Amino acid sequence: MSKDQNKMSKANKVLPQGEDLGGAKREYNFTVYTENQIGLLNRIAIIFSRRKINIESLNTSPSEIESIHRFNIVIHETEDVVRKLARQIEKQVEVLKVYFNTNEDVIWQELALYKVPTDNIAEKASVERLLRQYGARAVVIRKDYTVFETTGHREETDALIEVLQPFGLIEFVRSARVAIIKGSSGFNVKLREFERTEPAPDVVENEYLNKRGDIFTM
Amino acid sequence: MDTRQQATITIPEQKEAVELTGGAALLEALLIEGVDTIFGYPGGAIMPIYDALYDYQDKLSHILVRHEQGGIHAGQGYARSSGKVGVVFATSGPGATNLVTGLADALIDSTPLVCITGQVFAHLLGTDAFQETDVINITTPVTKWNYQVTDAEEIPEVIAKAFYIARSGRPGPVLIDITKNAQIQKFSYPGYTPCDHIRSYRPKPIVRKEYIEQAAELINQAKKPFILWGQGVLLGYAENEFKAFVEKSGIPAAWTILGAGAIKTDHPLNVGMLGMHGNYGPNVLTNECDVLIAIGMRFDDRVTGRLDKYAKQAKIIHLDIDPAEIDKNVKATVPVWGDCKETLPLITELIQSNDHSAWLQKFRNYEKQEIEAVIQDELFPSSGQITMGEVIQQLNELTKSEAIIVTDVGQHQMVACRYAKFNHTRSNITSGGLGTMGFALPAAIGAKFGAPGRTVVAIIGDGGIQMTIQELGTIMQSGIHVKIIILNNEFLGMVRQWQELFHDKRYSFVNITSPNFVTVASGYGIPGKSVSERKDLKEALKEMLNHQGSFLLEVMVTKENNVFPMVPQGCSVSEIRLK
Ligand SMILES: Cc1ncc(C[n+]2csc(CCOP(=O)(O)OP(=O)(O)O)c2C)c(N)n1
């Protein structure tokens, strides 16, 4: 979705009458642990689209635990809306656990690839300076083109586009965001509790009830 | 009376694995799940299952409906009257898409269903094969869970999961799409093991003691507490626990339309109906109470009116099994997440026996005003045409409030919910959250199959009956006994009311003509009568109720009556209008 469309979709979003906005809109990172199930991506995506909320970034891949997938979803919303979305996601039968965090609470990266004509790069740019300054590396060097790779936050990967544009940037691609939660102790222990027929209380219950004022996890 | 009618599951002794087709394995699973009735309609992609069903006719009764929407509404009616999971069969493509309205209805009203759809052969998926539709994706937003089976070996486990998910936690509809090859495929059937745990699914929350204590403390200190209850009490089979709580606390209690009947209409602490067309006192006093105790209800906008002016003065205790409901519309002071069958007794134990008669009297005073301004004329008019209310009033008397009332959607629905009296739980069956016209006739058929010992009366508008009138054929063929009352105002009444009140009486396409319903019914072999004179009403109702079999009674009612009181859209509950 283009940036313009994106702006429009937010402007058009009709908030239910009398809804408490729950503070200002900001970026939130959902971390969702799920079963590996066909159709679940759709089930999760429509929770957002039904409410006309744009997903800014979505990554899904197998987690460190066999058969469990991990989603990273980024949206721009108020905490109040994010909390409600988290509960709707966790309600899905094949979702094990949902966390949401602000950018301050996660370490996150996006990976970007840049394809430029090798001639231009070799002649006009100080490749070495470029690579060092932007933490980039060359993945492929061919006679006709070179592909650089870098990881970082949006501004960092954007900055390298700016730099490479004058050298005839041919193609650019950026991955979705992946994020690690700073305060997490991992999912392995939780999963073992889920697998017991009689799960331990802290798995069954809603953790948000403990600290309803704080950042919400459930 | 414990209303739990869920058949206990008996697992037959594990014999040696036998060779079965996927279709037969499905039917074996249904038998072990205690299914006795299936509502369905066959077609190409589900033929192997129907072929298997041919050999199970003595154990599984299949009701051939006239349209798949009728089938799923019948499944809903069955589930709502019996407390069991409703089971529906449909073929691929158009058969499956005809289920969508019913799925949406069942999801929003938390009705447990297992729907089985046939699908094209697995190798044809995605080829635009004949009657292929992407049923899984079409139904994802309107099911609690859905799954496509392409291999017969999956069937026992998937069906076990389907029943478990449909009935546990907050119940809802599940759809299983089975490709034709899987229905035909023979496999070594290992027997059936019901499901009681899915690691990613936690239907039954562990109850938190501190919230029970906080709730009890708020209740003990409250001067003007008020209970709102919804269908959660019925879904949790917690009617007795609820009654004990209400009676010990002495707190006035009002209901959402899906909660009606959990305690008797005439219970001294039952103060009536909530919401847009609910009773005067409960709406006004919502904005005067000091503690609001919401039990198994979800603060639907038709109940709350304008949210930012809803019970702002009150502390809110919210009991719900679904964590997504807590704080969704109304922020809870004390969230009691859990099954109310467990949480209510814990709270009851901690509260003092109390009497709030002065506060209760306030409700009764408002009731008096409402009787004078609205109810008297609606139920006991002395002149003019028959009103909808007097039909319900006379029905109450004749049935002694023992009947199951199934309503469609519109003015007659609101009037029936307002004035019908219920002695028993699971007696008011209506499409609440979705407001699906066409619901009542098939749902009434299902309700009768689910509660064969009870009288089932469907109350339907002249508009809504024409949406699923073909189900008269189902009545004819199955021989089921359903009493059908059409309240004919010659309008799409509820829309007309809004056009009158909010659109300067610009009646835009709400004038609806009807066939001669009595003649139509007689074409289906169902006797009927039409009355328009007050003097004939009671006799006609008696004739309908006394007739051994189905009967259609059309009552010509006032054309332009409005349902009042009313909380106009965008207004607060305390701005409810009597006129
Ligand atoms: C399937 C469907 N279509 C449209 C509506 C909108 N609608 C709500 S009430 C109503 C009028 C119903 O008229 P009728 O069945 O005659 O009942 P009455 O209100 O006159 O009692 C309509 C059209 C609906 N609820 N459901």
pLDDT at A17 over 50: no
pLDDT bucket at A205, cuts 50 / 70 / 90: very low
User: How far does Cα B199 stand from its chain's mean position?
Assistant: 29
Q: Which residue of A has its CA nearest to B134?
A: A39
Cβ contacts of A129 within 8 Å, gap of 6 or more: none
pLDDT for the residue A101: 95
Instruction: Output the six-digit token pair for B147.
Output: 């799954």
pLDDT confidence band for B15 (50 / 70 / 90) = low
Residues 6+ apart with CB under 8 A from B165: A93, B144, B145, B172, B174, B198, B201
Q: Which atom of ligand 1 is nearest to the CA of B466?
A: 15
Q: Taking residues A114-140, what's their average pLDDT?
A: 85
Nearest to A91 among B198, B205, B324 (CB): B324
Q: At B144, which CATH number?
A: 3.40.50.970
Domain-located, residue B570: no
Same domain, B13 and B159: yes
* Fold designation for A23-105: Alpha-Beta Plaits (3.30.70)
As given in the structure block, the two tokens for residue B425 are 């739980």
Q: Of B332, B363, B394, which closes a domain? A: B363
Residues in B touching A35 (Cβ below 8 Å)? 200
Alpha-carbon gap, residue B155 to A145, rounded angstroms:
53
Q: Residues in chain B, how many?
A: 579
Q: Label residues B245-260 b or e (16+ Cβ within 10 Å = b).
A: bbbebbbbbbbbbbbb
Residue B562 lies in a domain: no
Helices (H), ranges, B305-439: 340-350, 357-370, 376-379, 388-399, 411-419
- CA torsion sign, B37 to B159 to B50 to B124? positive
Q: Determine the Cα–Cα distance for residues A13 and A49; give it in Å rounded to an integer.
A: 11
Mean per-residue pLDDT for B5-21? Answer: 69
Does residue B545 contact residue B399 with C-beta atoms inside 8 Å? Answer: yes
Answer yes or no: do B22 and B162 share one domain: yes
> B57 and B128: one domain?
yes
Q: By the 8 A CB rule, do B244 and B227 touch? A: no
| Whether B200 and A88 lie within 8 Å, measured CB to CB | no
Please indicate, yes or no, if residue B561 is contained in any of the structural domains: no
pLDDT band at A120; cut points 50, 70, 90: confident
Calpha distance B275→B303 (Å, rounded) = 4
The alpha carbon of B18 is separated from its chain's Cα centroid by a whole number of angstroms, namely 40
Residues B493, B530: contact at Cβ < 8 Å?
Answer: no
Interface of A with B (CB under 8 A): 16-20, 34-35, 38-39, 42-43, 46, 50, 83-84, 87-88, 90-91, 93-96, 191, 194-195, 197, 199, 201, 203-206, 209, 212, 218
Burial category of B128 from C-beta neighbours within 10 Å (exposed 0-12, middle 13-18, buried 19 and up): exposed
Cβ separation of B307 and A18 shorter than 8 Å? yes
Query: Per CATH, which fold does A107-174 belong to?
Result: Alpha-Beta Plaits (3.30.70)
Residue B293 Cα, gap to closest chain A Cα (Å): 18
Residue B230 to residue B67: CA distance in whole angstroms: 31
pLDDT by residue (tens digit) across B214-258? 999 999 999 999 999 999 999 999 999 999 999 999 999 999 999
Angle at B335 between CA B334 and CA B338, to 5 degrees: 140
ipTM of the shown complex: 0.93
d(CA B129, CA B127): 5
Do A107-174 and A23-105 fall under one CATH topology? yes
Could you state, in order of their start, the residue ranges of all structural domains in chain A? 23-105, 107-174
Contact between B140 and A42 using a beta-carbon 8 Å cutoff: yes
Can you tell me the distance from the alpha carbon of B521 to that of A201, in angstroms, rounded to the nearest whole number?
A: 57
pLDDT computed for residue B553 by the predictor: 98
Range of the domain at B80: 3-188
How far apart are the C-alpha atoms of B109 and B99, rounded to whole Å? 15
Characterise B73 by phi-psi region: left (phi > 0), alpha (psi -120 to 50), beta (else): alpha
The 10s digit of each residue's pLDDT in B509-530 is: 999 999 999 999 999 999 999 9
Confidence of residue A129 (pLDDT cuts 50, 70, 90): confident
Residue numbers in B near A19 (CB within 8 A): 307
User: How many Å is the Cα radius of gyration of chain B?
Assistant: 24
User: What DSSP string runs through B265-277?
Assistant: TT-TTEEEE-STT
**Signed CA dihedral, B482, B487, B490, B494: sign only:** negative
Structure tokens at A43: 């089930």
Q: Specify the ligand 1 atom closest to the Cα of B408.
A: 15
Residue with tokens 């087709």: B21
pLDDT at B361 over 80: yes
Q: Residues B334-354: what's their mean pLDDT? A: 97
Q: What single string gives the DSSP state of each residue in B156-191? A: HHHHHHHHHHHHSSS--EEEEEEEHHHHH-EEEE--
Measured in angstroms, the CA of B308 and the nearest CA of chain A are apart by 5
- Residue B469, Cβ density class (10 Å: 0-12 exposed, 13-18 middle, ≥19 buried): buried
DSSP state of B193: -
List chain A residues with CB under 8 Å of B202: 199, 203-204
How far apart CA B43 and CA B99 sit, in angstroms, is 14
Neighbours of A159 (CB within 10 A): 15
- Report d(CA B4, CA B480) in Å as an integer: 24
Angle at B163 between CA B160 and CA B168, to 5 degrees: 120
Same domain, B126 and B176: yes
Q: Are residues B417 and B504 in the same domain?
A: yes
Place of tokens 């990967």: A157
For residue B245, what are the CA distances in angstroms to B216, B230, B238, B263, B352?
Answer: 11, 15, 10, 11, 10
Same structural domain, B144 and B69: yes
Q: What's the distance, CA B49 to chain centroid?
A: 29
Mean pLDDT in residue range A104-132? 87
Give CA separation, B110 vs B104, B144, B357, B557, in Å: 10, 9, 35, 33
Question: Chain B residue closest to A209 (CA)?
Answer: B335
Average the pLDDT over A41-57 and give the result: 97
Tokens found for residue B416: 């029936």
Identify the DSSP state of B468: S
pLDDT in tens, B141-159: 999 999 999 999 999 999 9
pLDDT of residue B173 exceeding 90, the answer is yes
Considering B333, B363, B393, which residue would you say is the last residue of a domain? B363
Which of the 8 DSSP states describes residue B454?
S
- Two tokens, residue B136: 């899984």
Q: Encoding tokens for residue A199?
A: 């799960």
Residue A113 bridge partners (DSSP): A149, A173
Cα distance between residue B488 and residue B465, in whole Å: 10
- Does one domain contain both B216 and B164? no
Would strands A106-117 and A145-152 be described as parallel, antiparallel, or unpaired? antiparallel
List residues bridging with B148 in a β-sheet: B177
What pLDDT is attached to residue A185? Answer: 79
Q: Which amino acid is at A23?
A: G
Examine the pLDDT at B1 and tell me if it is beyond 70: no
Give me the numbers of helices (H) and strands (E) for chain A, helices first please.
8, 9
Burial of A62 (0-12, 13-18, 19+ CB in 10 A): exposed
The closest of A51, A55, A65 to A29, measured between CA atoms, is A55
Residue B378: inside a domain: no
DSSP string, B417-429: HHH---SSSS-EE
Q: What are phi and psi of B369, to 5 degrees?
A: -60, -40
Average pLDDT along chain B: 96
Dihedral sign of CA atoms B64, B65, B67, B71 in order: negative
Pull the structure tokens for residue B535.
């003097």
pLDDT at position A194, please?
Answer: 72
For B256, the token pair is: 């959402």
**Residue type at A149 in one-letter notation:** E
Q: Residue B483 in contact with residue B553, Cβ under 8 Å?
A: yes
Query: Quick one: B318 and B462 in the same domain?
Result: no
Q: How far apart are CA A32 and CA A43, in angstroms?
A: 13
Diameter over CA atoms, chain B? 74
In a domain, B314, yes or no: yes
Identify the band that residue B313 occupies on the pLDDT scale cut at 50, 70 and 90: very high
Residue type, A175: S
Q: Average of pLDDT values for B521-545?
A: 98
Last residue of one domain, picked from the residues B142, B159, B188:
B188
Residues B473-517: tens digit of each pLDDT: 999 999 999 999 999 999 999 999 999 999 999 999 999 999 999
Q: What are the backbone angles phi and psi of residue A15, rounded to the nearest 5°? A: -85, 140
Residue B568 belongs to some domain of the structure = no
Nearest to B340 by CA among B223, B205, B466: B205
Q: What is the mean pLDDT of chain A?
A: 82
B180 is annotated as an active-site residue: yes
- If one counts the domains in chain B, the total is 3
Answer with the residue of higher pLDDT: B119 or A203: B119
Residues of B engaging A, defined by a Cβ cutoff of 8 Å = 136-137, 140-141, 144-146, 148, 165, 196-202, 204-206, 208, 211, 301, 306-310, 322-324, 326-329, 331, 335, 337, 570
Nearest to B205 among A18, A42, A205 (CB): A205
Q: Does residue B182 sit in the same domain as residue B329? A: no
Nearest chain B residue to A81 by CA: give it: B328
Separation between Cα atoms, residue B218 and residue B346, nearest integer Å: 14
B219: nearest Cα among B344, B375, B109: B344
Q: How many residues are present in chain A? A: 218
User: Rounded to the nearest whole angstrom, what is the distance from the C-alpha of residue B413 to the centroid of ligand 1?
Assistant: 10
Q: Is residue B578 part of a domain?
A: no
Tell the burial category of B551 from Cβ atoms under 10 Å away from its Cβ (0-12, 13-18, 19+).
buried
Q: Rounded to whole angstroms, how far apart are CA atoms B360 and B364?
A: 7
Q: Which two tokens stand for residue A39?
A: 């159709």
Q: Residue B430: CB partners within 8 Å, gap ≥ 6?
A: B257, B258, B406, B407, B408, B409, B413, B416, B417, B439, B440
